[in-house]
Amino acid sequence: MPIPHDPAARHRAIAGTFADRTAGVTDWDVPAPVEGWTARDVVRHLVEWFPAFLRSGAGIELPSGPSVDDDPVAAWEARTRGVQAVLDDPATQTAMLENRHIGTIPLPGAIDRFYTSDVFMHTWDLARATGQPDRLDAEFAGQLFSGMQEHDEMLRASGQYGPRVDVPESADITDRLMGFVGRDPSWTPPA
């Protein structure tokens, strides 16, 4: 089933897939494809970075949940509920987010562009680290890949992405997207 285009529906779908992957983790301390990270750190990143972005740009305080150290699954569920509540709130539809790097943009679009897309790509990290299905939705992966290629130099300069990993043009879109953001599509956890 394709991923919806509406920011609230898209977040619900992508966060739900990530929740499915968190539920399938049996060892939170396995290495992840991001150097120095474990499976738990993938969840930690998604739970911890976004509240400050939302607070500083839109004055919205997300509710806190359990610690990722204590319960990564519950921490993810709490973060997802909080973000979904913001997206489902009718007042959000006209709210704006201000950020010195990106200017002033509609809040739903900012959440979609920066947070939901991040969850989407980190789904691969968690799935790959824990031996779960790691193929991403091809249509949305293709949209991200196309849009990001246009801003390659700026994205690399941001420090948010590693050096591009070359993958064959014949590779599927998941592997091409992951290679673009600096992941080795052939990475597997150490035995």
pLDDT digits (tens, 9 = 90+) for 128-148: 999 999 999 999 999 999 988
Mean pLDDT for the stretch of residues 19-30: 98
Domain containing residue 129: CATH number:
1.20.120
Q: How many domains does the chain have?
A: 1
Q: Is residue 167 part of a domain?
A: no
Instruction: Please report, as a single letter, which amino acid is at residue 47.
Output: V
- Whether this prediction's pTM lies above 0.85 is answered by yes
Q: Is residue 31 part of a domain?
A: yes
Mean pLDDT computed over every residue of the chain: 93
Q: Is residue 23 part of a domain?
A: yes
Using alpha carbons, select from 113, 127, 86, 119 the residue that is nearest to residue 14: 119
Q: Which residues contact 123 (CB under 8 A, 6 or more apart)?
A: 14, 17, 18, 21, 134, 136
Q: Is residue 20 part of a domain?
A: yes
Q: How do the residues of the chain divide into helix, strand and coil, expressed in percent and rounded to 5?
A: 55, 5, 40
Lowest pLDDT segment from 7-11, 37-41, 75-79, 162-166: 162-166
Q: Is residue 112 part of a domain?
A: yes
Query: Domain limits at 75?
Result: 7-134
The Cα-based distances of 124 to 32, 64, 141 in angstroms read: 10, 25, 11
Q: Is residue 28 part of a domain?
A: yes
Q: Is residue 149 part of a domain?
A: no
pLDDT digits (tens, 9 = 90+) for 80-102: 999 999 999 999 999 999 998 88
